[in-house]
Copies of this chain bind each other. A is one copy, B any other.
Amino acid sequence: MNKFSTTDKSVDALENMPWEDRPSGSSAVIWRYSANPVIPRDLLPTSNSIFNSAVVPFAGAFAGVFRVDNQKRQMNLHRGFSPDGLSWKLDPSPIEFLSDDPEVGRYEYRYDPRVTWLEDRFYVTWCNGYHGPTIGIGYTYDSENFYFVENAYLPYNRNGVLFPRKINGQFMMLSRPSDRGHTPWGDMFISQSPDLVYWGKHRFVMQPKDGWQSTKIGAGPTPIETPEGWLLFYHGVLTSCNGFVYSFGAALLDLEQPWKVLYRTASYLLAPQTLYECVGDVPNVAFPCAALYHQPSGRIAIYYGGADTVTALAFCRMDEIIDFIKSNSEL
């Protein structure tokens, strides 16, 4: 069971989030927050954009690790805090990850974080520049001090997402092997580790299909454990004659053998259709990095990046999402 949603204080936090119901007249399984974007591009004086960010319940409120591109267009990670998940204060300085080894501790670039509560701490995974993009792993107990573990893989990789508990005694991480550029392909794999330092037993999970997910796919938020399997929101990319379009759908993965895909949405759940998703530094992007599940009420809140520029929020219900995935599934 997902620790985020069972800590008492986390429950409190999610209960206090100003949830919005599905707009009347709509039959969509997922709907946008009416005051999107929740975080504008210029929340910090030197930020160019704030997006693809990971929010967690924390200490009765909300904390997050945010992708902040500054006005040099350097990509970095910043901490942020919010009482309600909507109104945010971000640390103007990037997170410093402590490391004993200067070879991997030095800074190239960091982007697209995910945060996972696992056993006793928050783990952060992100796309980390080390002679190419790979998956960096760090952690914090208190959101004050952050420690660097290691780069999980050789370059070139993106979208590394940890499972929130060990499975069969092993840490598990999803990722998408990539190339050096704007990779025009990409399958999802899972890797296993006894210690978060050494990784192996890599297994193929799933690959692109037709339509909105025909170019490449990548894991989104930390998977949520449900009786039906691991609920994984993931993004898919379609290549139009004018570039990539990032939408997102969801899958259910086997609880014990998570490389087995049980169900997978043939339709997207949300595609870029609003101005803040279609216009910005990268037009036509909706990219989810965090999904908060309030188990008592069945509510899910999804944070996603809009146009690689701003952070937006969408809502759905666990029962409806599970139904949708199962009834719209094509493997």
In the complex, A230 Cα to B179 Cα: how many Å? 30
Q: Are B281 and A203 interface neighbours, CB within 8 A?
A: no
Secondary structure at the A interface, as helix, strand, loop or mixed, is loop
Give the CA-CA distance A156 to B177 in the complex, in Å.
7
Is A146 engaged at the interface, CB distance under 8 Å to the other chain? Answer: no
Interface centre among A179, A185, A194 (most CB of B within 10 A): A179
Other-chain contact of A243, B212, B242, B247 (Cβ < 8 Å): B242
Closest B residue, CB atoms, query A185:
B180
Q: Does residue A89 face the partner (Cβ distance < 8 Å to B)? A: no
Residues of chain B within 8 A (CB-CB) of A94 are none
With A71-B267, A153-B154, A212-B73 in contact, is A179–B182 under 8 Å at CB? no
* Interface set, chain A 201-238, CB cutoff 8 A to B: 201-204, 207, 210-212, 214, 238
Which B residue's beta carbon lies closest to that of A186?
A: B180
Contacting pair A280 B282 (CB below 8 A): no
Q: Which residues from 85 to 103 on chain A have a C-beta closer than 8 Å to any C-beta of chain B?
A: 103
Q: Is there an interface contact between B242 and A283, defined as CB atoms closer than 8 Å?
A: yes
The CA of A130 and the CA of B203, in the complex, are separated in Å by: 9
**Contact status B27-A238, CB under 8 Å:** no
Check if A279 is an interface residue, CB within 8 A of chain B: yes
Indicate if A175 sits at the interface (CB-CB under 8 A).
yes
Which B residues are in CB contact (< 8 Å) with A271?
Answer: 48, 71, 73
Copies of this chain, complex-wide, total: 6
Say yes or no: A282 contacts B204, CB within 8 Å. Answer: no
Residues of B near A283 (CB, < 8 A) are: 242, 278-279, 283-284
| Cα separation A201 to B157 with both chains bound (whole Å) | 15
A303 at the interface (CB under 8 A from B): no
Q: Which of A232-277 contact B (CB under 8 A)?
A: 238-245, 247, 266-268, 271, 273, 275
Q: Given A72-B210, A278-B279: A242 and B241 within 8 A (CB)? A: no
Q: Does A132 contact B (CB under 8 A)?
A: yes
Contacts of A199 in B (CB 8 A): 198-200
Contact of A179 among B131, B179, B212, B244 (CB under 8 A): B179
Q: CB within 8 Å of B: which residues of A?
A: 27, 41, 45-46, 48, 70-74, 103-104, 130-132, 134, 150-157, 175, 177, 179-180, 182-183, 185, 187, 189, 191-194, 197-204, 207, 210-212, 214, 238-245, 247, 266-268, 271, 273, 275, 278-284, 308
Q: Which 6 pairs between the two chains have the least Cβ-Cβ distance?
A: A73-B211, A242-B243, A198-B198, A182-B241, A198-B200, A71-B267
8 contacts between A and B (CB under 8 A): A73-B210, A73-B211, A150-B200, A156-B177, A156-B179, A199-B200, A275-B279, A281-B284
Add 12 more A-B contacts to A193-B198, A278-B283 (CB < 8 A): A71-B212, A73-B212, A73-B214, A153-B154, A154-B175, A193-B200, A194-B198, A240-B282, A241-B243, A241-B282, A283-B283, A283-B284
